[in-house]
Amino acid sequence: MAAIDPSNRGLRLVTRYLVLGLVALVFIFPVVFMIVSSLKPDQQLLTDTGSLRAFLPVGDISLDNYFAAFERAPIGKFVFNSVLVTVITVSLSLFLCSLAAFSFTYLEWFGRAALLSVILATLIIPFETIAIPLLLLVSKLPWIGVEGVTYGWLDSYRVQIIPWIADALTVFLFVQYFKDLPRELIEAARVEGATWWQIYYRVVMPLSGPVIATGAILKTLKMYNEQYIWPLISVQSETYRPVMVGLQYFFQLQIAWGEVMAYLTMITVPVLAFYLVLQRAFIASIASTGVKG
Amino acid sequence: MKLTISGAIVAYAAVSGAALAQTELALWYHGAGNEEEAAVLNGAIEDFNNAQGDWTVVVESFPQIAYNDSVVAAALAGNLPDILDIDGPVMPNWAWSGYLQPLQVDETLVSNFLPSTVGRWDGEIYSVGLWDAAVAIMTRQSTLDKYGIRVPTLEEPWSLEEFNAALETIKASGDFDYPLDLGTAWTGEWYPYAFSPFLQSFGGDIVNRDDYQSADGVLNGDAAIAFGEWWQSLFANDYAPGTSQDPAVRDTGLIDGKYAMSWNGNWAATPVLDAFGDDTLFLPAPDFGNGSTIGAGSWQFGISATSAHPDGAAAFIEHLMQDKYTAAFSDTLGLVPATPTAAAQSKYYAEGAPMEVFYGLSEAQALVRPVTPGYVVAAKVFEKALSDIANGGDVIDTLDAAVDEIDADIAKNGGYGH
């Protein structure tokens, strides 16, 4: 009778893993479908979508879609552009937003609560409403480069980086996390004569691994996966185009679905690798801040 | 040896001097990702750059889906190139908005172009296209024979009753998922391009073309209501897949035998010909009472208002207008050549060639979409109305609402300069 005893630990374990396995399958299906489909010719891909064969590498399997995708679009350049823009933006964002959050959390200055409220209020403004004013603004801003002072940031990396460095969500994440750090640590450091800068980079930031990971992942996903409208209107040359605009190269009148899947598989790899590296810290941070991505 | 080196230096200086003397003209094009199309365009550009010493055209290609948004954004930011390619029905809006300047080409150069390939606004030519697109009912001779359905011709297209009877007969056979594929999976410009000719054939229109100041009476009059009810019946009776049609099945449904007939453009004709060979039929649009019509007006070339070199830009566009490039684009893209002389050179549209019928359709049935800056908004309103009606919306209410929206937009924009 032990086998059907609800308190049986083995049975509970099997049940738990069975449920978790099913949930994992549901979440992994799209990725499996994408990878498997990228290996099939269009005709077979479309035929298989109505059955479980869609998730199996069966039939006429080859890497032809990958070769064709490379011929259709400069994928390496698009991935490089997106990775470059993402890495610089995320790095600067984590630095500046954490500094801002530090100031909001630990420094006493007039109007900080009101300013934080204003910053957080920007979370409800959709980007579409500010896209055109922002475009007009960056099209006239000065820049100092090797050619001296020029005007207009359009068609460059900087136009894809600078407007995205500061964002309310990242500031909010850091503020929430910093509030939970023991005040005694900060006060002890002050008593020992540490400057605010020393407290920031020697005390607070070393303890902020989980929130840095969360901010990095959320910001990376936003910069890499969701940057479409802004580069569409602010970048004209192929030299600076990111992966999401590049995806549109594959949507011709007759869509080559196999090539679309191959392209998506290739551009997903960097994001997936990044997430897998940081997932443990990400989960820990979610547990502590209650923020979901 | 010295002489050789001196000669080389002089030759190099001459060549580089010529190159330096050439003024750069930027061209934006909508065909990124289509390498065959890019090859034809790049070949024509190379020929132009090598044939004269004044101008060098440099192309920047955009994905088609993103192209119009990119151009509008660039216009706002004052960042337009010299030469643009423009979707025909959008041209009046861009001209009215001040993005374009009139194209200085001799009328005699466009005299043999299909009328729908010459973009005119406010009495002037603003753009010229090398090709047009045509839509037909694609099916198989054997399918019509099997069900005893008459093959329609340009002279005698199907009537509304004949068309409905054909759909009912095929539906009743149970041999296909749907008798007719309308391509409802394709959103955007496909709706007004492909379906407004049905409305026009019923006797309605998207906007009143007498003065382009209102849609009242043409988009919600008796003819338009009759069209709307017929349109809704196609989906209510399961004659055609609805707006949730899978885009992938749209591409292959006719060839796979899911659909008996497909309303599709000439760009999709070659896979059908490859699959069905001599059994292929490209049929004209039915005549719903007011004559058969199909949409017209494809991509065209024009000059931006901010170009400092309209003479160079016009020289390049005139260069492109040669039959050899028109035929080359047609051979590559399967599109209808803009001139009969180019059609004669083309592998698909020459006399006796497999897609010759499309040239006839363009010549006989083509009706450009409303030539007004307000078309851009009206087209989206029309698309939404058709989608709503297909999904069971009340025909009269939906069309009335569409008219209100279009009229409000026209009023808001001061009549769009008509």
Q: Residue A287: its pLDDT value, please?
A: 65
Residue A255 lies in a domain: no
Q: Which residue in the set A233, A250, A252 is minimally distant from B69, CB to CB?
A: A233
Q: Residue A272: its pLDDT value, please?
A: 85
Mutate to test the interface with A, among B35, B246, B306 (most CBs of A within 10 A): B35
> Among residues A28, A44, A72, which one ends one of the domains?
A72
Q: Is A36's Cβ below 8 Å from some Cβ in B? A: no
Restricting to A residues 175-204, those with a Cβ less than 8 Å away from any Cβ of B are none
Residues A66 and A89 both lie in one domain? no
Residues A133 and A41 both lie in one domain? no
Residue A31 CA to residue B98 CA, distance in Å, equals: 46
Residue A250 lies in a domain: no
E strand spans, chain A? 142-145, 148-151
- By CA distance, what is B71's nearest residue in A? A233
A108 CB-contact burial (10 Å; exposed 0-12 / middle 13-18 / buried 19+)? exposed
pLDDT 10s digit of each residue in chain A, 293 long? 445 565 688 888 999 999 999 999 998 999 999 999 999 998 888 888 878 899 999 999 999 999 999 999 999 999 999 999 999 999 999 999 999 999 999 999 999 999 999 999 999 999 999 999 999 999 999 999 888 999 999 999 999 999 999 999 999 999 999 999 999 999 999 999 999 999 999 999 999 988 998 899 899 999 998 889 999 999 999 999 999 999 999 987 678 889 999 999 999 988 888 888 877 777 776 666 555 44
Q: Residue A277: its pLDDT value, please?
A: 83
Mutate to test the interface with B, among A154, A232, A234, A263 (most CBs of B within 10 A): A232
Residue B141 CA to residue B274 CA, distance in Å, equals: 15
Residue B209 CA to residue A146 CA, distance in Å, equals: 55
Positions of chain B with pLDDT lower than 50, given as ranges: 1-4, 10-19
Residues A2 and A111 both lie in one domain? no
Q: Which residue in the set B60, B64, B248 is minimally distant from A236, CB to CB?
A: B60
Q: Is B58's Cβ below 8 Å from some Cβ in A? A: no
Mutate to test the interface with A, among B24, B67, B76 (most CBs of A within 10 A): B76
- For residue B32, the chain A residues in CB contact (below 8 A) are 73, 238, 248-249
Q: Which residue in the set A132, A237, A254 is minimally distant from B76, CB to CB?
A: A132
- Interface A:B, Cβ pairs < 8 A: 78
* Structural class in CATH, domain B24-132+297-368: alpha beta
Q: Which residue in the set B69, B79, B252 is minimally distant from A46, CB to CB?
A: B252
- Nearest CA to B356 out of B364, B346, B366 is that of B346
Restricting to B residues 187-226, those with a Cβ less than 8 Å away from any Cβ of A are none
Q: Is B175's Cβ below 8 Å from some Cβ in A? A: no
Q: Is A232's Cβ below 8 Å from some Cβ in B? A: yes
Tokens read off for A6: 């609800």
Q: Is A29's Cβ below 8 Å from some Cβ in B? A: no
The distance from CA B400 to its chain's CA centroid, rounded to whole angstroms, is 28
β partners of residue A144: A149
Given a contact cutoff of 8 angstroms between Cβ atoms, the answer to whether B194 and B285 are in contact is no
User: Is the Cα torsion angle B205, B206, B211, B216 positive or negative in sign?
Assistant: positive
Q: Residue A293: its pLDDT value, please?
A: 44
Given a contact cutoff of 8 angstroms between Cβ atoms, the answer to whether B218 and B290 are in contact is no
Given a contact cutoff of 8 angstroms between Cβ atoms, the answer to whether B57 and B45 are in contact is yes
Residue A216 CA to residue B400 CA, distance in Å, equals: 50
Residue listed under structure tokens 């590498």: A57
Domain ranges of chain B: 24-132+297-368, 135-295+374-417
Residue A155 CA to residue A233 CA, distance in Å, equals: 9
Residue listed under structure tokens 């998207």: B206
- For residue A47, the chain B residues in CB contact (below 8 A) are 256
Q: Residue A252: its pLDDT value, please?
A: 76
- By CA distance, what is B186's nearest residue in A? A253
Residues A141 and A192 both lie in one domain? yes
- For residue B251, the chain A residues in CB contact (below 8 A) are 46, 254-255
- For residue B36, the chain A residues in CB contact (below 8 A) are none
Residues A55 and A145 both lie in one domain? no
Q: Mapping DSSP to helix (H, G, I), strand (E, B) and coil, where does residue A10 land?
A: helix
Residues A54 and A81 both lie in one domain? no
Residue A263 lies in a domain: no
Given a contact cutoff of 8 angstroms between Cβ atoms, the answer to whether A65 and A262 are in contact is yes
Q: Helix axis angle, B395-412 relative to B222-236, nearest 10°? A: 130
**Fold equal for B24-132+297-368 and B135-295+374-417:** yes
Cα of B340 to nearest chain A Cα, Å = 25
Q: Is A92's Cβ below 8 Å from some Cβ in B? A: no
Residue B289 CA to residue B307 CA, distance in Å, equals: 46
Number of folded domains in chain A? 2
User: Is the Cα torsion angle B395, B396, B399, B405 positive or negative in sign?
Assistant: negative
Residue B367 CA to residue B9 CA, distance in Å, equals: 58
| Burial annotation B113-144 (CB, 10 A radius, 16+ → b, else e) | bbebbbbbbeeebbbbbbbbbbbbbbbbeebb
Residues A272 and A146 both lie in one domain? yes
Mutate to test the interface with B, among A132, A136, A233, A251 (most CBs of B within 10 A): A233
Cα of B80 to nearest chain A Cα, Å = 10
β partners of residue B265: B135
The distance from CA B172 to its chain's CA centroid, rounded to whole angstroms, is 34
Residues A1 and A100 both lie in one domain? no
- Nearest CA to B284 out of B305, B303, B261 is that of B261
Mutate to test the interface with A, among B29, B36, B59, B79 (most CBs of A within 10 A): B79
Q: Is A44's Cβ below 8 Å from some Cβ in B? A: no
Residues A85 and A39 both lie in one domain? no
Given a contact cutoff of 8 angstroms between Cβ atoms, the answer to whether B105 and A271 are in contact is no
- For residue B70, the chain A residues in CB contact (below 8 A) are 232-233, 236
Residue B13 CA to residue B8 CA, distance in Å, equals: 8
The CATH number of residue A84's host domain is 1.10.3720.10
Mutate to test the interface with B, among A137, A227, A238, A249 (most CBs of B within 10 A): A249
Restricting to A residues 246-275, those with a Cβ less than 8 Å away from any Cβ of B are 246, 248-255, 257
Q: Which residue in the set A139, A249, A255 is minimally distant from B63, CB to CB?
A: A249
Q: Per the CB < 8 Å rule, is A248 touching B249?
A: no
Residues A46 and A118 both lie in one domain? no
| Phi, psi dihedral angles at B113 (to 5 degrees) | -80, 145
> Among residues A27, A43, A72, which one ends one of the domains?
A72
User: What type of residue sits at position B68?
Assistant: N
Q: Is B268's Cβ below 8 Å from some Cβ in A? A: yes
Residues A21 and A128 both lie in one domain? no
In A64-162, where does DSSP find H-type helix? 64-72, 75-106, 112-121, 127-138, 158-161
> Among residues A21, A39, A72, which one ends one of the domains?
A72
Cα of B310 to nearest chain A Cα, Å = 21
CATH code: domain B135-295+374-417 is: 3.40.190.10
Q: Residue A49: its pLDDT value, please?
A: 82
Q: Residue A4: its pLDDT value, please?
A: 55
β partners of residue A142: A151
Cα of B323 to nearest chain A Cα, Å = 24
- By CA distance, what is A258's nearest residue in B? B248
Given a contact cutoff of 8 angstroms between Cβ atoms, the answer to whether B270 and B278 are in contact is no
Q: Is B20's Cβ below 8 Å from some Cβ in A? A: no
Residues A100 and A193 both lie in one domain? yes
- For residue B28, the chain A residues in CB contact (below 8 A) are 236
Residue A225 belongs to domain spanning? 75-244+268-289
Q: What is the DSSP string of B140-204?
A: EHHHHHHTTPPPP-SSSPPBHHHHHHHHHHHHHHT-SSEEEE--TT--TTHIIIIIHHHHHHHT-
Residue B204 CA to residue A230 CA, distance in Å, equals: 39
Q: Is A245's Cβ below 8 Å from some Cβ in B? A: yes
CA A145, A147, A148 angle in degrees (round to 5)?
65
